[in-house]
């Protein structure tokens, strides 16, 4: 309460997931007024050949990935 499921491309490090879990939890605490302990998150790694947009697997995408937003 709340419970989050996060589908993301495989390859993220545990450190990234650690930071993301903290940041997502803080986002819930601030906007919903819940206690941190009530926030439950599951990460689900998805391979690029298991994710498709516009009918095309991401593993078939030959365009270079966009630069990170920074």
Q: What residues line the site for its own copies (CB under 8 A)?
A: 1-9, 12, 14, 16-37, 39-46, 49-60, 66, 68-70
Q: Of the listed 2, 36, 66, 68, which one is catalytic?
A: 2
Note if 66 is an active site residue: no
In angstroms, give the least distance from the CB of 45 to its own copies. Answer: 7
In order of 19, 26, 30, the CA distances from 34 in angstroms are 19, 10, 8
In angstroms, give the least distance from the CB of 38 to its own copies. Answer: 8
In order of 7, 33, 50, the CA distances from 56 in angstroms are 18, 40, 10
Residues acting as catalytic residues = 2
């Amino acid at each position: 309460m709340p419970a989050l499921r996060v589908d993301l491309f495989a390859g993220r490090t545990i450190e990234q997931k650690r930071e993301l879990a903290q940041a997502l939890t803080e986002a819930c605490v601030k906007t919903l007024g819940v206690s941190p302990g009530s926030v439950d998150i599951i990460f689900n790694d998805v391979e690029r050949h298991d994710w498709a947009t516009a009918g095309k697997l991401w593993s078939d995408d030959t365009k270079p990935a966009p630069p990170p937003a920074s």
